[in-house]
Chain A
Amino acid sequence: MGKVWKYGNDVNTDVIFPGKYTYKIMSDEEMASHALEDLDPNFAKNVKEGDVIVAGTNWGYGSSREQAVKCLKAAGIKAIIAESFARIYYRNCINLGLPAITLKKEDIDKFDAGDEVEVDIENGVITNKTKGFEVRFPPFEGYVMDIIKAGGIIEYIKNQGNRE
């Protein structure tokens, strides 16, 4: 259970994680402290483990930097729910083990900032406790679910390597 952070269309990787930090080696906590710095200065201070982001179209366009996914995951974000994602951002999300869920505009519009929601990744259900409704999405298929459960593709492969 967590609450919704709601944003609009075309949120780019520079406002999610500023370019000036991309070549600095940072701990997860430090990355989290800069998350969404140039879009919403309140985010990093107030985000809690289990919160979700709900956004419009083309979330995460711009650079291919993985930190733009990592900083949100490190901040405790459990899922990003958007109308659409930029291609590389979407791949980075899955491969870093952060569920990226696509919903139609009419469903996105039902969520407001601060709503209490629960995301059931396994069964593909988002429950909005504040407003009392459910939205379903197709659950991730086998391999992608395995990657998400492992916490990312590198962890998944390492587990596989250890088995041999």
Chain B
Amino acid sequence: MGMTLTEKILANKAGKKEVAPGEIVTVEPTWVMSHDNSAAILLKFKKTGVKKVWDPEKVVIILDHTVPPPTAEYANNHRSIRNFVKEQGIVNFWDMNTGICHQVMAEKGYDLPGAVIVGADSHTTTPGAFGAFAAGIGRSEVAAIWATGKIWLRVPESYEIIVNGKLPKGVFAKDLALHIIGDVTAGGAVYKAVEFKGETIRDMTIASRMVLTNMSAEMGAKNGIIEADKKTEEYIKERKKAPYKVFHPDEDANYERRYEYDASDLVPKIAFPHTVDNVHDIDKAEDIEINQVFLGTCTNGRVEDLEIAARILKGKRIHPDVRMLVFPASWEVWREADEKGILRTLADAGAMVMNPGCGPCLGAHEGVLADGEKCLSTANRNFKGRMGNPNAEIYLGSPATAAATALKGRIADPREVL
């Protein structure tokens, strides 16, 4: 029996000829990632009685969630992480002047084909865009890996999601991701590997592919994955932190379920409060007045995202009743966007260009909403209270929809302004 991409990677890592869904394998992860929550993880680690992490070169720590820290408590957490990093000799540490963990993992060359990456963040599915197996795990399990160097994984059943056709003007990877999640539903792929294939995926930039694997978590998937190709190898050429091996799914691989989509008839999509699978065509949302537009996050804070927004807002001013917050996903993104004049264009339009990081996505700081307010966000989650106020509403859309909305003061179709 042939194997899916996920099965191939897990079999290779476990040193087995083949693996089947349901089987448990034990692997040494290529990288284990954590962020500001490393402060809690290191306390758990210390309780194990193990003195040194198993391999200080495979532990990756990236500070991104509350940067710079808004309270003394967060600041103390950051300090305890920095001390731990020094004490353990952890080389792959990126302080708060780097970017969002899932973006930094790509930029700094950890996201590699064939790698097994686990991290203490639910959107650790993102590296799947590079043909890696990548999944979110709990804090205790990260502490356990730091102590033992291994994790057991149940080989998931795979779904294949096949997308063909050219995305129409004004419709982007985010709209496709929302469309798929609306169809599969928030719990529709629980514990499954979702493998994205088809010409639409092959035509996508790496940044756009990352939107799909990032949002795989929102249908409950264990991991989202896309076969590596020339674009992948081009991206990682100068960045890679380790050797890698490209795997391909077998022709006769067994997929538990298949979803097929035609991208060419898609329209911009909006996920309504308070679940990510509450997805509607944009025309159902067009009268909704918006107080805040949030452009950024690990889902949509890359250069192509800021660029499309800048194209829409160039030479214009955003609606006076809207606050627009822009958070580039990393300082690398910030620099490139700066060189291209994107940040200046956005600021000239009235947007506030903020420091790279998770920003207000998780409601900790930098843009919390008032009671009764509505936000159009390019993030991946719109749960009640997600942005710090349970009495506010979050609508999810693409960066182009975000820019069109900022311009009009209500949810607006980007096809009208592109």
Contact A87 B222 (CB under 8 A): yes
Interface residues on A, range: 20 to 34
Number of interface residues of B (CB under 8 A): 21
Distance A74 CA – B342 CA, assembled complex (angstroms):
60
Contact with B along A142-164 (1 / 0, CB 8 A): 11100100000110111011101
Residues of B within 8 A of A12 (CB): none
Task: From B25, B48, B51, B152, give the contact of A154 (CB < 8 A).
Answer: B48
Q: Which stretch in B143-151, B262-270, B320-328, B389-397 binds the other chain?
A: B143-151
Q: Does chain A have a CB within 8 A of B23?
A: yes
Known contacts A87-B191, A87-B222, A164-B51; decide if A157 and B148 are in contact (CB<8 Å). yes
Residue in B closest to A156 when the chains form the complex, CB atoms: B148
B154: Cβ under 8 A from any A Cβ: yes
Within 8 A of A (CB), among B115-166: 138, 140-141, 144, 147-148, 150, 152, 154
CB <8 Å contact, A102 and B152? no
| CA A162 to CA B22, docked complex, whole Å | 33
A residues in contact with B141, CB < 8 Å: 91, 95
Q: What's the Cα separation between A162 and B26 when bound, in Å?
A: 22
Per a CB cutoff under 8 Å, which of B152, B191, B222 touches A144?
A: B152
B49, CB-defined interface residue at 8 Å = yes
* A141/B48 in contact, CB under 8 A: no
Residues of A82-113 at the interface with B, using a CB-CB cut-off of 8 Å, are 86-88, 90-91, 94-95, 102
Q: Which of A102, A157, A164 has the most CB of B within 10 A?
A: A157
Closest-by-CB residue of A relative to B16 is A141
Does B24 count as interface, using CB distance less than 8 angstroms?
yes
CB distance from A66 to the nearest CB of B (A): 9
Whether B51 pairs with A160 at a CB distance below 8 angstroms is no
Pair count A-B, CB < 8 A: 52
B144 engages A153 (CB within 8 Å)? yes
Answer yes or no: B368 CB below 8 A from chain A CBs.
Answer: no
Q: Which residues of B contact A64 (CB under 8 A)?
A: 138
A138 pairs with B48, CB closer than 8 A: no
A140 within 8 A of B: yes
- Known: A154-B48, A160-B147. Is A87-B190 also a contact (CB below 8 A)? yes
Contact A138 B49 (CB under 8 A): no
Q: How far is it, in angstroms, between the C-alpha of A86 and the C-alpha of B187 when the chains are bound?
A: 11
Complex: how many Å from CA A143 to CA B50?
18
State in angstroms the CA–CA spacing of A90 and B23 once bound together.
13
With a CB–CB cut-off of 8 A, which chain A residues contact B191? Answer: 87
* Cβ distance A145 to chain B, nearest Cβ, rounded Å: 10
Smallest Cβ-Cβ distance to A159: which chain B residue: B49
- Could you say which residues of chain B place their CB within 8 Å of the CB of A86? 190
Closest to A84 in B: B191
A143 lies within 8 A of B152 (CB): yes
Known: A144-B152, A147-B152. A157 touches B26 (CB 8 A): no
Q: Which of B25, B48, B51, B190 contacts A157 (CB 8 A)?
A: B48
Q: Which residues of A contact B26 (CB under 8 A)?
A: 141-144
CA gap between A120 and B241 in the complex, in Å? 45
Contact across chains for B25 and A141 when beta carbons are under 8 A apart: yes
Q: Chain B contacts of A138 at CB under 8 A? A: 23
Residues of chain A contacted by B51 (CB below 8 angstroms): 161, 164
B48 touches A158 (CB 8 A): yes
- Asked whether A160 lies within 8 Å of B190 as measured between CB atoms, the reply is no
Query: In whole angstroms, how far apart are the Cα atoms of A147 and B148 in the complex?
Result: 12
Known A87-B191, A157-B148; 20 more pairs at CB < 8 Å: A64-B138, A86-B190, A87-B222, A88-B138, A90-B154, A91-B141, A95-B140, A102-B22, A138-B23, A140-B24, A143-B26, A143-B152, A144-B26, A157-B50, A157-B147, A158-B49, A160-B50, A160-B147, A160-B148, A164-B51
The 5 closest A-B pairs by CB, nearest first: A161-B49, A143-B26, A87-B191, A157-B48, A161-B50
22 interchain pairs (CB within 8 A)? A87-B190, A87-B191, A88-B138, A94-B152, A95-B140, A138-B23, A141-B23, A141-B25, A141-B152, A143-B26, A143-B150, A144-B24, A147-B152, A153-B144, A154-B48, A157-B50, A157-B144, A160-B148, A161-B147, A162-B49, A164-B50, A164-B51
